[in-house]
Structure 1
Amino acid sequence: MSRAGLACATAAALIAAAGGALSGGGGHLMHARALIAALVAPAAAQSGDEPIYYQHPDGKPVYSLTPKTTTDGRAFRAVPAGADLSFDDDAASPASAPVAAPAAAIAGGERKIRFYRNPMGLADTSPVPKKDSMGMNYIPVYEGEDSDDGSVSLSPQKIQRSGVQSERAAMRLIRTVIRAPGAIQLDERRVSVIAMRSESFIQSVANVTTGGKVVKGEPLMQIYSPTISSAAAEFVATIQSKTTGGVATYGRGSRQRLVNLDVPEAAIVAMEKGGPVPTVLQWAAPRDGIVLERNAIEGARANPGDVLFRIADISLVWALVDVAERDLGSLSVGQVVSVRARGYPGRVFDGRVSVIYPQVNRDTRTARIRIELPNPDLALLPEMYLDAEIDTGNPQPVLAVPDSAVLDSGERQVVLVQKGEGRFEPRNVTLGHRGGGYVELRSGVSDGEAVVVSANFLIDAESNLKAALNAFSDAGAAK
């Protein structure tokens, strides 16, 4: 039989079969669609634009082997060889957009049939031609159309309609930034407290107030202490004595008593040089810093341990930041941190991670880290809110693809590699760092391979279905 005759015979079978399927009502609509596709596919192999059947101009499931008109005088639409036989959801007719004929038809050669699959997409295959319970022929699956690796082939039209897009895996710098809030705190090592070690009376207080700046050695107050005066008189009497070395040893003990009472070193040295026993001692600032607390009041009595001044050096401060538990694995001591204080919009303070506290908050599931920040202009103040950014990315370029390319099932991560000619192959991959919309691929994909970045869920679903069909086919062949 000639190719044209074969097309006519196939089309006739199409019309008859479709009419029988549609006569059963809406419940057989899907069967008609699958049958039309199965019967027309061989006829589509003929060359040229010769119509193989005619369809209702409104896309209704009404067909004819010869030119025909509707009751209102409109001509039926000619369907040429190679027309796209996929069905839309809103109509029971093939879509009107013509596409290229299948690869097997273009090649004009015969390909080996691997197996036959259920026309309704059920997980049932057969090594030989057969019909289902509705009398529909099983659809042949040729070599190259399915593969054991789950790859899937799509026509250019289906790729375009699905919105499939791809991007090549390439070496990129991935910047992974951890952002966390925190607050400024004092460096515990740079805080000094001035308190008396004996009962004392405050004679006078210098013009120093809370919040003011002081420098090391600057006078703060004058105090009188009966205990200190007694110890000082004993020390002076000892060093002025002309007795032997035994008394000299006792003199060293008198000096140590003054040191234990926290008498300023300058006052002790003055007594050693022959100065008089002081009745009033002057206390000076032990370091440069800010006066955080002033409790000294002129004429007041100070008991041992009472804090009279608290001075802190804030030229170096701490930033205490709470980071999420999941980010702990990316942190290490010495990492560079950028801090933005909410009181100084647009200004960035640079520091480094100095301590990662060995405890996780059970309620917030966060861990605290300490960042040392230079503060030369004293702009950062205690309890000031801040936002920290910690760059944990790899400084070297790594092979990366967009985040949207990865299909993550929880147990495995997969990307779809574009193999050309409409074929897509799923690949298991091992992921690394994420950042900037990209994810590092440590295995599974080579540099330059194109991966699907959109509509990959649709391709993956079809790939999984074909893999399942292959499994059933292999099981049936084994029997």
Structure 2
Amino acid sequence: MTTFLRHKGTLITGIILGILLGLSGYKITVLNTDTSSKQANSNTTSDEKKPLYWVAPMDPNYRRDKPGKSPMGMDLIPVYKEDQSDQDAGPGTIKIAPNVVNNLGVRTAKVTRQPLTASITTVGYIQYDQDRLIHIHPRVEGWVETLYVKAQGNTVQKGDPLYAIYSPALVNAQEEFLLALQRNNQQLINAAIDRLKALQLPTTTIEKLRKTRQVQQTVTFFAPQSGVVDNLNIREGFFVKPGMTLMALGSLKEVWVEAEVFERQAALVKPDMAVTMSLDYLPGKTWQGKVDYIYPTLDAKTRTVKVRLRFANPNKVLKPNMFAQVVIHADSTEQRLLVPREAIIRTGRQDRVVLALGDGQFKSIAITMGKMNEHYVEVINGLKEGDSIVTSAQFLLDSESSKNSDFQRMSSTDQTSQNTAQHEHHTEQSVEPKIEKKPSSAWVEAEVHKIMPDTRKINVTHQAIPEWQWPVMTMDFMLADNININQLSPGLTVHIEVQKASNNHYQITQVHIPNTPQQTSEKTSEQQHSDHSEVHKHGQPGETP
């Protein structure tokens, strides 16, 4: 009996222990399952980053906890929690969701190092080759007996007769030569020959005079080179004197083209650069030449530099005073840091690009520009090879980045030398940057499109507001209570004062209709006195501050 009870107790104890162990194992399994589920949910949550809030593109102070529209009707932009990489990128870094990047149509390009090839297109006029242009002047006075060249523009070959002249001085020089020959005095003969040559008597005429011993009353002069007759100023029977221009002979073997390039392009042009020329009267045909000379002066009126080009003219089809289109191939083998021209954001004080940092992060940075062509711009400072920059929709990104960027908050004296090292230096020294505050109101010209009396709103297209960096936009504005809405009508051009309210909305506080003695608001004397002070502060109504 005792043994049975002992066995029975042992069995009961084993059953109880088994039940407890089973229950303990079940509970551990459940806990492990819950922990794994929680970890999976945590990983899923961490992978899907949620925006902290949404802000207006033109006003970062306008925040909402869900997507929507800004007071100006623009889509709100999500803002994410900045991670360690955002902090390393410095002030001005913004992060945009991938779907917003796609909707904005953001495109990027790499900063490359390559030669800057430039093609300068300009116009010019064909001229004679001045190196081969000869003017014919007499060295004695006399009368033109025979003129062999009858019209300007005639072509002559070297050695062709030009004109025959009767001159008493030439007759006397020939007689002195014959007298020296008769005396057989070599010294006198040489002196007589030198005088005849000084008077430009042709060598053939001197030899004929030596043989025939007969004085020629009229002496014929010949063309010193082949060319075209220009500036023909004589006719048969003219009395001519030394220094008078009888005619000019221009060679068409080669021609000059004088073209002009703008001041900003002059540094790209170098001597011996290749040039392509085309003419209107011979469409489809081109000529290849080179840059012969760059003039050292700049035209003060046109702000251009004159460039002389040289072209071969074997068929004599290129004629002086023809109008020509030329393309100067200002190619260079020097490696330069280049970015696409459309990526540059040019302002009055600074040139910028938007740097794509990856993972939806962008930052607007200042650069120093160098030479440029129609497609690329050289970057002297601010970027390095391989950087990715935004080439489309960069203006919206630059507007958002500039609100918090380091160069936007610095004073004007420091804007020309902004970089990351300077930012870190200012951070270590605890120097507080100077903040540029925007005015709370601004006057601008606008055209009324629609009037909504029920909500006291109007739809207008206003001009650019430089103080707020607003471009020309069409948007709705709320009217202040003191404005008489009945005096407004669609199509009316007015001057409005836009003021930023405390709730980050913008409303029209004053309206001025041009050519009217008073504004459209009904004010008390105290309000008019306040407006008078406001006019002295911001300028007359209708003037953009």
Please, what TM-score do these two structures have when normalized by structure 2? 0.57
Amino acid at match of 1:326: R
Aligned to 2:272: 334
1:188-203 pair list within 5 angstroms: 188-203=130-145
Alignment of 1:376 with 2:357, yes or no, is no
User: 1:106-161: per-residue Cα shift (whole Å, max 9, x none)?
Assistant: xxxxxxxxxxxxxxxxxxxxxxxxxxxxxxxxxxx665555524222111122123
RMSD over equivalenced CA pairs, Å: 3.8
Q: 8 Å contact 1:211–1:290 — kept in the other structure?
A: yes
Aligned to 1:80: none
- CA positional deviation for 1:392: 2.3
Alignment of 1:417 with 2:355, yes or no, is yes
- Aligned counterpart for 1:466 among listed residues 389, 401, 404: 404
Aligned to 2:104: 162
Q: Relative to 1, partners in 2 of residues 1:365 and 1:145: Cα closer, same or farther, differing over 3 Å?
A: closer
Q: Relative to 1, partners in 2 of residues 1:155 and 1:263: Cα closer, same or farther, differing over 3 Å?
A: same
Amino acid at match of 2:176: E
- Structure 2 CA distance for aligned equivalents of residues 360 and 400 of structure 1: 28
SS at match of 1:429: strand
Q: 8 Å contact 2:353–2:389 — kept in the other structure?
A: yes
Aligned to 1:53: none
Q: 8 Å contact 2:364–2:402 — kept in the other structure?
A: no
Q: Relative to 1, partners in 2 of residues 1:188 and 1:471: Cα closer, same or farther, differing over 3 Å?
A: closer
Q: 8 Å contact 1:149–1:426 — kept in the other structure?
A: no
Aligned to 1:318: 256
- Aligned counterpart for 2:391 among listed residues 440, 453, 456: 453
- CA positional deviation for 1:299: 4.3
Amino acid at match of 1:407: I
User: 1:410-459: per-residue Cα shift (whole Å, max 9, x none)?
Assistant: 44433223222111234443433322422233454444432111111222
Aligned to 2:246: 308
Aligned to 1:269: 207
Q: Relative to 1, partners in 2 of residues 1:142 and 1:466: Cα closer, same or farther, differing over 3 Å?
A: farther
Aligned to 2:68: 87
User: 1:44-79: per-residue Cα shift (whole Å, max 9, x none)?
Assistant: xxxxxxxxxxxxxxxxxxxxxxxxxxxxxxxxxxxx
User: 1:27-58: per-residue Cα shift (whole Å, max 9, x none)?
Assistant: xxx999846x1xxxxxxxxxxxxxxxxxxxxx
Q: Relative to 1, partners in 2 of residues 1:87 and 1:315: Cα closer, same or farther, differing over 3 Å?
A: same
Q: 8 Å contact 2:80–2:95 — kept in the other structure?
A: no
User: 1:256-303: per-residue Cα shift (whole Å, max 9, x none)?
Assistant: 221222211211122334543223322211110011244443444434
User: 1:382-415: per-residue Cα shift (whole Å, max 9, x none)?
Assistant: 2222223222232356443221222334444332
Q: 8 Å contact 1:163–1:455 — kept in the other structure?
A: yes
Q: 8 Å contact 1:393–1:433 — kept in the other structure?
A: no
1:121-132 pair list within 5 angstroms: none
- Aligned counterpart for 2:343 among listed residues 386, 405, 415: 405
SS at match of 1:276: coil
- Structure 2 CA distance for aligned equivalents of residues 31 and 262 of structure 1: 89
- Structure 1 CA distance for aligned equivalents of residues 400 and 95 of structure 2: 9
Amino acid at match of 1:452: V
Aligned to 2:177: 235
Aligned to 2:226: 288
- Structure 2 CA distance for aligned equivalents of residues 190 and 367 of structure 1: 24
SS at match of 1:347: strand
Please, what TM-score do these two structures have when normalized by structure 1? 0.64
Amino acid at match of 1:224: Y
- CA positional deviation for 1:216: 0.5
- CA positional deviation for 1:231: 1.2
- CA positional deviation for 1:310: 2.3
SS at match of 1:338: strand
- Structure 2 CA distance for aligned equivalents of residues 430 and 32 of structure 1: 31
User: 1:152-182: per-residue Cα shift (whole Å, max 9, x none)?
Assistant: 2111122123222212233455432223322
- Structure 2 CA distance for aligned equivalents of residues 156 and 201 of structure 1: 93
- Aligned counterpart for 1:151 among listed residues 74, 87, 93: 93
- Structure 2 CA distance for aligned equivalents of residues 389 and 91 of structure 1: 48
- Aligned counterpart for 2:282 among listed residues 330, 344, 348: 344
Q: Relative to 1, partners in 2 of residues 1:170 and 1:468: Cα closer, same or farther, differing over 3 Å?
A: closer
Amino acid at match of 2:175: A
Amino acid at match of 2:154: G
Aligned to 1:360: 298
Q: Relative to 1, partners in 2 of residues 1:182 and 1:468: Cα closer, same or farther, differing over 3 Å?
A: closer
1:194-233 pair list within 5 angstroms: 194-206=136-148, 208-233=150-175
Alignment of 1:392 with 2:330, yes or no, is yes
- Structure 1 CA distance for aligned equivalents of residues 401 and 303 of structure 2: 40
- Structure 1 CA distance for aligned equivalents of residues 129 and 63 of structure 2: 76
Aligned to 1:429: 367
Q: 8 Å contact 1:343–1:384 — kept in the other structure?
A: no
Amino acid at match of 1:320: E
Instruction: Note the residue ranges of structure 1 that are not aligned, 5 or more in a row.
Output: 4-29, 38-84, 105-140
- Structure 1 CA distance for aligned equivalents of residues 61 and 372 of structure 2: 48
- Structure 2 CA distance for aligned equivalents of residues 292 and 323 of structure 1: 29
SS at match of 1:327: helix
Aligned to 2:217: 279
User: 1:324-370: per-residue Cα shift (whole Å, max 9, x none)?
Assistant: 22323223333332233333333323333333223222222222222
- Structure 2 CA distance for aligned equivalents of residues 393 and 325 of structure 1: 18
Amino acid at match of 2:108: S
- Structure 2 CA distance for aligned equivalents of residues 32 and 213 of structure 1: 81
Q: Relative to 1, partners in 2 of residues 1:312 and 1:478: Cα closer, same or farther, differing over 3 Å?
A: closer
Q: 8 Å contact 1:176–1:433 — kept in the other structure?
A: no
SS at match of 1:433: strand
Amino acid at match of 1:328: A
% identical equivalent positions: 26
SS at match of 1:416: strand
Q: 8 Å contact 1:198–1:303 — kept in the other structure?
A: yes
